Structure 1
Amino acid sequence: MNREQLMKMSKKELKARLVTVGKEAQDKSGEELTALMDEAKTIGEILDEIKAREELARAAAAAATEGEEPEDDTKGGEGAETKDKARAESGKALKNGKAVKFKAKAIAKPLNTITTTTGVVMPHHTSPDISPTFNNVSSLIDRVKTVPLVGGESYQRPYVKSYGDGAGSTAEGADYNTSEPEFGYADIVREKITAYAEEPEEMQKLPDADYDGVVEDSVTRAIKRYASRQILVGKGGTGKFRGIFYNPDSASDDIIDRTTDIATITAIADDTLDEIIYSFGGDEEVEDVAVLILNKKDLKKFAKLRDKQGRKVYTIVNHGNTGTIDEVPYIINSACAEIGGTKDAYCMAYGPLSNYEVAVFSDIDAQKSTEYKFKQGQIAYKASVFMGGNVVARNGFIRVKNPSA
């Protein structure tokens, strides 16, 4: 079945068709097997699109609900009351020096495969006399695929390395050409991420629920910033994130083939975006629904570029940490180096964010101490969480790095 026919099917029918394709593929080979594998891939893409639309609808509904006036007791509101009561109990426990746990979803919101330019708005929990500063957390952590595995130790994700290209002409009576798909496995191991924060003792005077919110925001913001950077620059190894810019010791272990890196861009020019977009993906198509990850300094260079008539070369729409360059979605992340800067440094990555997975192996464990800076009247908090991440698709991103010389 072609894509047009599949698009007319319901979610249930698509899943049933995927099962049928799997059964039919058992005794097929050559072009027939390739066709079935292509159809299975198309079904997977359509199901991902359906999931993205459903998640976007839920996110929109949740945003609309948050903007509504609180309901009175006669109209329900039990859920809100239960949540406030839980936060109050958590805040009271913190004040009494007991350890509490915050849900891991506070780190990575479940907007897994959505790649729109709306971004994610992070809440600010502050007391009336404390003003927040600029956001220092990239929304990248909220946009990659998140897998909750509380209590787990590691996670292995299979991916297709190639579909095989051995089909060809065969003489009568000779053996069939071998054309088998090749698979690989992306290992995601847990890394212990910790954060430490201090608050003035006056914070104790906040209502219990507000107190809980202040502490949660203090520690989760630091953890999110670290994890968001590690998605790009995680150095791999035992108990470490494996970032998009990570290269294993052996090239044979590459998930992103390092020979595909673009190392010819020395400055932002009028053809830079085209060079990146058309260098990504397979030989038979131009990939869509991809996002460009870059440094704010390079975004500024895109914005300042002018043609000979003084007109802007690129049309840029900004939405805080995200936006579009000529309708291509982007995300700012300071872990990216600057084009034209340090040699061999990675500057940009382009690809679907669903090609990177973050596994969350635990909730956030937070504890309080009033002893360390007792004289200054400061209350100390420490928090930890176990997470890991890795690229989970063969050549799931194209990377841009500065040339060696």
Structure 2
Amino acid sequence: MNLETLKAMLKKKEDRKAEIGEKSKASEDVIELRSLNSEMDKVNEDITELRSIIDGLSKKREEIPRDDGAVQEKRSTPEGQLKPVSTFNIGQPTNTDEKRAEKLEKMYEKRGSDLKSKRAVTFDIEEIPELRAVSIGGGTLITEKKYSNTLNPKFSEVSSLVDLVNGIPLMGGESYTKGFEVSSGEGDYTAEDGEYKDADPAYGYVTIGKAKITAYAEMTDESMKLPNINYQSSVAKSIGEALRKKITKQIIVGAGGANAINGIFNAPSNVIPENTDIEISEIDADTLDKIVFGYGGDEEVEGGAYLTLNKQDLAAFAAVRATDGKKLYKIRKNGNTGTISSDDSFEIPFIINSACAPLSSDSTPVDRYCMAYGMVKAYEMPIFSQVSVEESRDYKFKSGQIAYRGSVWAGGNVAMHKGFVRVKKVIAT
């Protein structure tokens, strides 16, 4: 793993540390505070460990004498790379950095060996590639993006919505209750000897239960030839991507109830009242204005909200023309996200999510929710367990496939009053 990747990992850890600090200041829930404190301890350990490894990789070349009296250059490790396991000074005094790196490598080596021996293993959530919404624990040190220089990557199948919602680590928990403010009171005129006007604020609550999300994957038995460290990383990537793919869609369309995540489109009415839904028949010059002005309270035009929509509807925005025939909406993209803007309107960020039905498609029925606009942090997703993975070579022994199954307990719901508005397709009038 190169130096830049390690520095990026360190920044993520430091950003998470700051985020935990802010959450701790705002939280009044004892269970949540305990969980946050536990996570903070782990993050601090990971930061110290990464800084030590980065410092070691940043050392300059040293010069040592050769047997013939000449001088040759020596590097403790090629710049931007980790030491291979075989280069550690076995039997020689090691410094603290080497001991930490050796400890990690032993842990990953054992996990890969356990998988090959058909023993169940547990991955910290953060080891599952890019599961940022639940970034707790450590161990991304040796996770690789690909494992062969002849294997071309596929197109992304995971919406980055899962990376932006508010992940709450609650290891071992059963449910999570979140309170939110519905409205504040308002004063009124009162006679000199009259009673004061009641101005109590109104509050609401949502309870988020846990759901078991599972994934099954197969890899060729050739993967057994990988070193144990790379082998366990490959398993984590395969299972983790499958879990992410399911979760990010459920954030939108999850049915809620027993053993199911509550999606934005099915949020309880006390969180998203149905009378706040925006009804649109087609995407035209006024669509973006209707969505932006239809969100939030009566006193402000809110900023910082995201529009989650289908890729087909993004194309429909791009196809809208102004009266002079020029494109009305400007689409700036960065993979799964970007911005929609107009010279005479707003610029708002968007997220593509295929779970959203395309409003612009004739096959999408009326009264179907198609988009969601709001503060993505208003959606809270508690994670109640680490990812457990098991391996079997019995099911597809004949075809030389190794089977894996993984599971995680998670939940989700909107936890802010009117945190989103939903866009519903209606018949044109």
TM-score by length of 1: 0.76
Q: How many Å separate the matches in 2 of 1:321 and 1:236?
A: 26
Q: Tell me by how many angstroms 1:104 deviates.
A: 1.9
1:61-72 to 2 correspondences below 5 Å: 69-70=80-81
Q: How many Å separate the matches in 2 of 1:320 and 1:79?
A: 36
- Check 1:111–1:367 CA distance in 2 against 1; reply closer, same or farther (3 A cut): closer
Q: Tell me by how many angstroms 1:271 deviates.
A: 1.6
Q: What amino acid sits opposite 2:368 in the alignment?
A: A
- Check 1:154–1:161 CA distance in 2 against 1; reply closer, same or farther (3 A cut): same
- Check 1:206–1:104 CA distance in 2 against 1; reply closer, same or farther (3 A cut): same
Identity of aligned residues (%): 43
Does structure 2 retain, via aligned residues, the 8 Å contact 1:125–1:217?
no
Q: Tell me by how many angstroms 1:77 deviates.
A: 5.8
1:149-228 to 2 correspondences below 5 Å: 149-165=170-186, 167-228=187-248
| Residues 108-163 of structure 1, C-alpha deviations (whole Å, 9 max, x = no match) | 31599xxxxxxxxx973444444321110001111100000010000000101111
Q: How many Å separate the matches in 1 of 2:105 and 2:113?
A: 12
Match of 1:262 among 278, 284, 294: 278
Aligned length: 336
Q: Which has the higher contact order (CA 8 A, sep 6+)?
A: 1
| Secondary structure of the structure 1 residue equivalent to 2:247 | helix
- Check 1:367–1:111 CA distance in 2 against 1; reply closer, same or farther (3 A cut): closer
- What corresponds to 2:412 in structure 1? 389
- What corresponds to 2:310 in structure 1? 295
Q: How many Å separate the matches in 2 of 1:360 and 1:111?
A: 7
1:279-290 to 2 correspondences below 5 Å: 279-290=294-305
Q: Tell me by how many angstroms 1:381 deviates.
A: 0.5
Q: How many Å separate the matches in 2 of 1:385 and 1:362?
A: 6
| Secondary structure of the structure 2 residue equivalent to 1:245 | helix
Q: How many Å separate the matches in 1 of 2:109 and 2:209?
A: 34
Q: Tell me by how many angstroms 1:173 deviates.
A: 1.4
Q: What amino acid sits opposite 2:258 in the alignment?
A: T
1:103-118 to 2 correspondences below 5 Å: 103-105=124-126, 106=128, 108-110=131-133
- What corresponds to 1:245 in structure 2? 265
Q: CA RMSD in A?
A: 2.9
- Check 1:123–1:332 CA distance in 2 against 1; reply closer, same or farther (3 A cut): farther
- Check 1:89–1:111 CA distance in 2 against 1; reply closer, same or farther (3 A cut): closer
Q: How many Å separate the matches in 2 of 1:158 and 1:329?
A: 27
Q: How many Å separate the matches in 2 of 1:379 and 1:140?
A: 31
Q: Tell me by how many angstroms 1:85 deviates.
A: 3.3
- What corresponds to 1:43 in structure 2? none
- What corresponds to 1:370 in structure 2? 393
- Check 1:209–1:94 CA distance in 2 against 1; reply closer, same or farther (3 A cut): same
TM-score by length of 2: 0.72
Q: How many Å separate the matches in 2 of 1:93 and 1:18?
A: 41
Q: What amino acid sits opposite 2:371 in the alignment?
A: M
Residue ranges of structure 1 left out of the alignment (5+ in a row): 1-10, 23-57, 113-121
Q: Tell me by how many angstroms 1:79 deviates.
A: 4.7
Does structure 2 retain, via aligned residues, the 8 Å contact 1:231–1:243?
yes
Q: What amino acid sits opposite 2:302 in the alignment?
A: E
